Amino acid sequence: LVFLTESGGGSVAAGGSLRLSCTASEDIDWPACMAWFRQAPGKRREAVAAITTGTDLTYFTDSVKGRFTISEDNSANILYLQMDNLKFDDSGVYYCAGGFWGCGETSWSQEGKYGYLGQGTQVTVSS
């Protein structure tokens, strides 16, 4: 079963924008902590951003602060990642993750804390 499905990836020139979406299957409740991870070729998967659902509490890795925005439509169970001023190093496969605990200052970036992970969507930024 696929519980989380990402969409919105694509190819864009540096400086451009993309918005990723993640929808949750009706088989699961909307998780308390939702996040985006990414993995570039040859690199480990890293946390990008997270949100405690139903609140304004958000977390970002330093390299995307001021450029990326994470948000949700919890009436429709959709998670978004607005990515502006994209850079070459933002390229990779972006994954949506969901966990049934409130995101914490240190725990939000720990992949093992999340019970659900989507299959990913490719983002390619050309320099």
Q: DSSP per residue over 78-108, as a string?
A: EEEEEE-S--GGG-EEEEEEEESS---TTTT
Per-residue confidence (pLDDT) for residue 48, from 0 to 100: 98
pLDDT digits (tens, 9 = 90+) for 4-16: 999 999 999 999 9
Contact 117, 1 (CB under 8 A): no
Q: What is the dihedral of CA 19, 67, 36, 38, to 10 degrees?
A: 100
Q: Find the length of the chain.
A: 127
| Mean pLDDT across 79-104 | 96
Per-residue confidence (pLDDT) for residue 94, from 0 to 100: 98
State what percent of residues in the chain have pLDDT above 70.
100
Q: What's the CA gap between 12 and 9, in Å, rounded?
A: 9
Per-residue confidence (pLDDT) for residue 74, from 0 to 100: 83
> Which two tokens mark 108?
């939000």
State what percent of residues in the chain have pLDDT above 90.
87
> Which two tokens mark 81?
């990642």
Beta strands in 9-77 (DSSP E): 10-13, 18-24, 33-39, 46-52, 58-60, 68-73
The overall average pLDDT reported for the chain is 95
Q: What's the CA gap between 93 and 37, in Å, rounded?
A: 8
Q: Is 113 helix (H, G, I), strand (E, B) or coil?
A: helix
| Mean pLDDT across 18-29 | 93
| Mean pLDDT across 49-56 | 95
| Mean pLDDT across 41-51 | 97
